[in-house]
Amino acid sequence: MEPNVGGLDRTARLVGGLLVALVGIVSLAGLLPLGSTVGAGLALVGAIVFGTGLTQQCLAYRLFGVDTCKRT
């Protein structure tokens, strides 16, 4: 499969996904009063967003025909 996530979009996914996952993990550790369900959800969503940045592939983008990856 060809990459469909690139440039600023990829950077935002890597940074944002990591931050959201960390907030979820901190919440699961009991250091934030968000609860374990919210913490698990944030950790999962953050990991998925971070993963799409790493692989440069987003299923939702593919379904809707979006491509932010520049090709030369």
| Residues 58 and 3 sit within 8 Å (Cβ to Cβ) | no
Cα 66 from Cα 60, distance rounded (Å): 8
Cα 24 → chain centroid: 13
Cα 32 from Cα 40, distance rounded (Å): 12
- Chunked into runs of 10 residues, the chain (72 residues) has average pLDDT values of 93 98 97 96 98 96 94 72
Residue 70: the pLDDT is: 83
- pTM (predicted TM-score): 0.91
